[in-house]
Chains A and B, each alone.
Chain A
Amino acid sequence: MNVNVDELVDRMLAGDRRALARLMTLAEHDIATAKEISQRTFTNTGKAYVIGVTGAPGSGKSSLVNQMVKIIVDRGSTVGVVAVDPSSPFSGGALLGDRIRMKENFTSEAVFIRSMANRGQLGGVARATKDVISLLDAAGFEYIIIETVGVGQAEIDIHDVASTTLLLVAPGMGDDIQAAKAGIMEICDVYVVNKMDHDGADQLVEQIESSLDLATTIELDHDASHVFTTKQVVRKTGWHPRICKTNALTGEGVEELIDVIQQHKDYLEYEGKLREKLAARYRRDILEILQEQFKVHVETALDPAKNDAIPGLFEALDAREKTPYDIAEELAKFIARMLS
């Protein structure tokens, strides 16, 4: 297969799954190609409904997603799955083991499963993940499930990307502490207590219910444009988060979960909020693209081969004549000159 983006896009739009996979690989690899692909495919996006599934490792995310996919397909829709796992900070590699739980869905034409490593991006949803979601959208998949490990801050990320976010918890995982942590409880649309057959499942449901009762208004410490500020914003939501119990191994409770997701989708459509969600998602995309580009500029500025002021600056740092803030200011000027 050659690397011609135009040809790959044409084939992908015509239903070629290999071309779709190759475009994903190219988008992941470098931002310049990702940009080219986006320019060719963006008009075809905006149709898919994105569901985010997050939860601590071991809560049963992949198994649950497997069941969700089965039901979505049974109900007559097509679904793409993006399963994100963390990259090793030491080797840069990753063991992408989510697909292993979705074997039954491998060969259905209605399903496309892609495993990705987050490649060190904070928040658990990498820049390239957005590109992969957009590609699945352009390829015509009606639902896209993004599955990622969330251990606190990451949920905020997934809330930007997905229209419905699911937080998965399981009994016996110290989730009573998790429930008390601000920033998690307020922003998920559906709480899923998995492993409902285990001891403690009903207590966990009660704990979540009481946390939610205490949080009928949503207080976020960033303003509506998602920039973190110190102002308190009180925002009431018309959707009261639901709690579902599931057994991801047997499938019990998953039909009801899909029904609840459908209710949330209907609510968003009825209230005209889907557009808002998309806008928030693209805003976040732009932020991440800029951050990635800026990182490259910073690395150039720090490279002694590209910036001959570096050895001098670091000598001054070592002699305590300049602070890291001073150096950063110098480099900002270097970058500004570089970009002009």
Chain B
Amino acid sequence: MSEESQSNRIIRAVVAKPGLDGHDRGAKVLARALRDAGMEVIYTGLQQMPAQIVETVIQEDPDVLCLSILSGAHNALFPEIVRQLQEKNIDDVLVMAGGVIPDEDIQALQELGIEGFYGPGSDLADIIDYIRSHLKR
């Protein structure tokens, strides 16, 4: 990550809702908070298939991908999303997870390369700080 160009670079974020989960309030609140923190946020809307999320990442070239899921399908969907990202050689996007993810599932997801697990009740400032300090480029 080059220091010179980072200081005034605007961070682009994709906030995605994979699967059939219809709980979007958290994702929308996050999207607005990221905007208010000076980021450009692409919110994908509900019911995204992994292929659609990955294609959005390809076209929008974000610095961070925030996956929000509260339906419990994270163990099925997240590995598939990560697999497709790897297939497309996307290795410089910070992938974060939010929503309802039980502690016992976190380690397996971390091993896939997913970071920063922020569920309901998380401090938005913490999420923003995490993003700013963990960018991959």
Contact = CB atoms under 8 A, between A and B. Distances in A.
A94 B35 CA distance: 5
Contacts of B34: 93
Interface string B60-81: 1100000000000000000000
A21 B60 contact: yes
Interface in A108-148: 112-117, 119
Contacts of B43: 95-97, 100
A1 B92 CA distance: 7
B108 interface: no
Interface in B25-45: 31-32, 34-45
B93 to A, nearest CB: 10
B23 interface: no
A138 B55 CA distance: 20
Interface residues of A, number: 31
A11 B7 CA distance: 28
A21 B58 contact: yes
Contact of A100 (B9, B12, B45, B90): B45
Interface string A1-43: 1000000000000000110011011000110000000000000
A99 B36 contact: no
Nearest to A106: B52
A304 interface: no
Contacts of A103: 44-45, 47-48, 52
Nearest to B61: A21
B5 interface: yes
Contacts of B10: 29, 92-93, 117, 119
Nearest to A25: B61
B88 interface: yes
B77 to A, nearest CB: 16
A95 B90 contact: no
**Which of A87, A90, A92, A114 counts the most chain B CB atoms within 10 A?**
A92
Contacts of A113: 59
B59 A114 contact: yes
Contact of A29 (B9, B37, B38, B90): B9
18 contacts: A17-B59, A18-B90, A29-B9, A30-B5, A90-B36, A91-B36, A93-B39, A94-B41, A96-B40, A96-B42, A96-B43, A97-B43, A99-B56, A106-B55, A114-B59, A114-B60, A115-B40, A117-B40
Would you list the 10 A-B pairs with minimal beta carbon distance, nearest first?
A100-B45, A21-B61, A93-B35, A93-B38, A106-B52, A92-B38, A25-B61, A96-B42, A94-B40, A91-B36
